[in-house]
Chains A and B, each alone.
Chain A
């Protein structure tokens, strides 16, 4: 029997996260992947998987994939694709699906089509012996036709470089991205992580059923929601008392004037029906030990404060400043000290070396200034192996990187940890000054251009007058 080939068809975003995601999910679900083509940045992976059920399980969790397709034809040109399909149909390829209702989807990668062209493309498959009726909403079988025009949108060839046709085996977990949309989420903060990246983190962290997952900078709990959706039982801690009690200044612009009410991480868990997976949130300073000494988490996910939209502070006494104490206030305000990004990260790694299970994963984001970036600056710890380092570009000059670590050994006294990421205050400074400079030069250029235009017009007028 011929072995079944599957085409995993991806959305073209977060490309550098793609391979890590698929490998992590396959590892969690214990599905062996046989690569029929080495993975590249092209929007597909060509693989062999043990069964259709495995394909479905794998794609159901992926948020970078769009759908998984059982490959029927893979040819360099459209005529050859049709020739190949015709022959296969004669050999009875379509037999099991002949009488079912169906639809054909067409995807052009790096090119576009009008509705008419799309219909034309669908019609071109009319030689296939379909007997069932077309059903666009709820078909029994969906077929996918793909034309690939390369990765560079500046050079689009006239004809596709590669074409695929196949039967859709399963859709991906991408609908979850919309389900968890921040727009409709009950409780969000200024730095809530977008759902796709949160779900990606849960996948990359290999969260699975029954796991105990910690977010030590929990904020409004975006990462917990994603981890809970994939079966993790979640705990979060944060230094911000008002945040965990849903009493910070409202985040949504439209409702800025209305104080938050009934907003909390727990309310989000209820909204997404994963309250069963919610354990607790705790107001605490992640830099200090407050866990029982032998507590062990299965996964630690974090988005540490960068100092752009939230302060990087922790509790501490500044000698020069008196401790803030409001007379008559029932709440005590401890003073805070600046807490640099490298210190945060080193503390997080030391903590994880003790409190993460062996082979468990630690993930966190760091902000970087793209032109200064260097792989060697990223944190290292002798208990951890860096599995992945994926960039999400934010602006022309800034980005953040998701670092994925796996704990490879039990901690010892001789362990070492280093981190030389240009510090958060530098980042903050640069983030604002560079942006200003950038805007300033742009403004100057604009002004210059306007001036030149004036001169040019003046000259033109002079010529006309003469």
Chain B
């Protein structure tokens, strides 16, 4: 599971959960893969993600310590910055671990890189 995906997931499937976002990550096993830097795509996904959640998620799994708390101005033209964001969003993958609902603390397992969000009553 990439951090980009984490940024889009919630635990609203759990009964009674109002927001269910962001999910807390517990990473047991992380893989760094290589993915071609696509500047246009990174710019597009930055506009699609919740920045604060992204920064926190990266920190929870021990990455992104030098990432700015706020999205910097003029990031569109800062290639170095975009590459860093690309690396964290698309190349850092949680292979095994857990996603935890912020309200009910229900645990959703991640195995072989695939999160399982089935609400198993």
Q: Are B50 and A290 neighbours in the complex by a CB distance under 8 Å?
A: no
Q: Are B8 and A295 neighbours in the complex by a CB distance under 8 Å?
A: yes
Residue of A nearest to B93 (CB): A280
Per the 8 Å Cβ criterion, residues 216-264 of A in contact with B are: 233, 235, 239, 241, 244-245
A239 / chain B contacts, CB cutoff of 8 Å = 118
A282 / chain B contacts, CB cutoff of 8 Å = 1, 5, 9, 114-117
A210 / chain B contacts, CB cutoff of 8 Å = 38, 40-41, 44
Query: Contacts A210-B41, A289-B12: A317 and B121 contacting too (C-beta < 8 A)?
Result: yes
Q: Is A288 an interface residue (CB 8 A)?
A: yes
Query: Contacts A279-B2, A280-B1: A290 and B13 contacting too (C-beta < 8 A)?
Result: yes
Query: Contacts A209-B40, A279-B4: A291 and B118 contacting too (C-beta < 8 A)?
Result: no
Q: Are A281 and B12 neighbours in the complex by a CB distance under 8 Å?
A: no
Q: Is B48 an interface residue (CB 8 A)?
A: yes
Distance A236 CA – B61 CA, assembled complex (angstroms) = 24
Q: Are A284 and B117 neighbours in the complex by a CB distance under 8 Å?
A: yes
Query: Contacts A212-B45, A276-B36: A292 and B114 contacting too (C-beta < 8 A)?
Result: no
B9 / chain A contacts, CB cutoff of 8 Å = 282, 290-292
Q: B21, B33, B45, B117: which has the most chain A beta carbons within 10 Å?
A: B117
Q: Are A292 and B118 neighbours in the complex by a CB distance under 8 Å?
A: no
- Min CB distance, B90 to chain A, in Å? 8
Q: Are A292 and B117 neighbours in the complex by a CB distance under 8 Å?
A: no
- Min CB distance, B101 to chain A, in Å? 11
B41 / chain A contacts, CB cutoff of 8 Å = 209-210, 233
Q: Are B13 and A291 neighbours in the complex by a CB distance under 8 Å?
A: no
Query: Contacts A288-B13, A290-B12: A276 and B35 contacting too (C-beta < 8 A)?
Result: yes
Number of A interface residues, CB 8 Å?
32
Select one of A212, A233, A283, A292 contacting B115, CB under 8 A: A283
Per the 8 Å Cβ criterion, residues 88-118 of B in contact with A are: 90, 111-118
Q: Are B40 and A288 neighbours in the complex by a CB distance under 8 Å?
A: no
Select one of A283, A290, A332 contacting B11, CB under 8 A: A290
Per the 8 Å Cβ criterion, residues 301-324 of A in contact with B are: 315, 317, 323
- Min CB distance, A209 to chain B, in Å? 7
Q: Is B120 an interface residue (CB 8 A)?
A: yes
Distance A33 CA – B52 CA, assembled complex (angstroms) = 45
A347 / chain B contacts, CB cutoff of 8 Å = none
Residue of B nearest to A296 (CB): B48
Residue of B nearest to A239 (CB): B118
Distance A453 CA – B48 CA, assembled complex (angstroms) = 74
Q: Could you give, for residues 167-178 of chain A, a 1 whenever the CB lies within 8 Å of some chain B CB and a 0 otherwise?
A: 000000000000
Residue of A nearest to B21 (CB): A292
B121 / chain A contacts, CB cutoff of 8 Å = 315, 317, 323, 334
Q: Is A15 an interface residue (CB 8 A)?
A: no
Distance A282 CA – B109 CA, assembled complex (angstroms) = 11
Q: Is A11 an interface residue (CB 8 A)?
A: no
- Min CB distance, B32 to chain A, in Å? 14
Q: Is A126 an interface residue (CB 8 A)?
A: no
Distance A113 CA – B50 CA, assembled complex (angstroms) = 63
- Min CB distance, A339 to chain B, in Å? 14
Distance A281 CA – B12 CA, assembled complex (angstroms) = 18
Residue of A nearest to B17 (CB): A289
Residue of A nearest to B111 (CB): A245
Distance A312 CA – B40 CA, assembled complex (angstroms) = 39
Q: Is A293 an interface residue (CB 8 A)?
A: yes
Q: Could you give, for residues 7-20 of chain B, a 1 whenever the CB lies within 8 Å of some chain A CB and a 0 otherwise?
A: 11111110000000
Distance A266 CA – B117 CA, assembled complex (angstroms) = 19
Q: Are B113 and A280 neighbours in the complex by a CB distance under 8 Å?
A: yes
Q: B8, B48, B116: which has the most chain A beta carbons within 10 Å?
A: B8
Q: A209, A233, A280: which has the most chain B beta carbons within 10 Å?
A: A280
Query: Contacts A210-B38, A289-B10, A292-B10: A235 and B118 contacting too (C-beta < 8 A)?
Result: no
Q: Could you give, for residues 266-302 of chain A, a 1 whenever the CB lies within 8 Å of some chain B CB and a 0 otherwise?
A: 1000000001100111111100111111011000000
Select one of A244, A266, A290 contacting B10, CB under 8 A: A290
A284 / chain B contacts, CB cutoff of 8 Å = 13, 116-118
Distance A323 CA – B118 CA, assembled complex (angstroms) = 15
- Min CB distance, A106 to chain B, in Å? 43
Q: Is B68 an interface residue (CB 8 A)?
A: no
B21 / chain A contacts, CB cutoff of 8 Å = 292-293
Q: Are B13 and A289 neighbours in the complex by a CB distance under 8 Å?
A: yes
Q: Are B120 and A334 neighbours in the complex by a CB distance under 8 Å?
A: yes
B60 / chain A contacts, CB cutoff of 8 Å = none
What are 19 A-to-B residue pairs whose CB atoms are below 8 Å?
A209-B40, A212-B45, A212-B48, A241-B116, A244-B114, A245-B112, A279-B5, A280-B2, A282-B116, A282-B117, A283-B115, A285-B118, A289-B13, A290-B10, A293-B12, A296-B48, A315-B118, A315-B119, A332-B120
Top 6 A-B pairs, shortest CB-CB distance: A284-B117, A283-B116, A280-B5, A276-B36, A210-B41, A289-B12
Q: A210-B44, A282-B116 are in contact. List 20 more A-B contacts (CB 8 A).
A: A239-B118, A241-B116, A276-B35, A276-B38, A279-B90, A280-B2, A280-B115, A281-B114, A282-B9, A284-B13, A284-B117, A285-B13, A288-B13, A289-B12, A290-B10, A291-B9, A315-B118, A315-B121, A323-B121, A334-B121
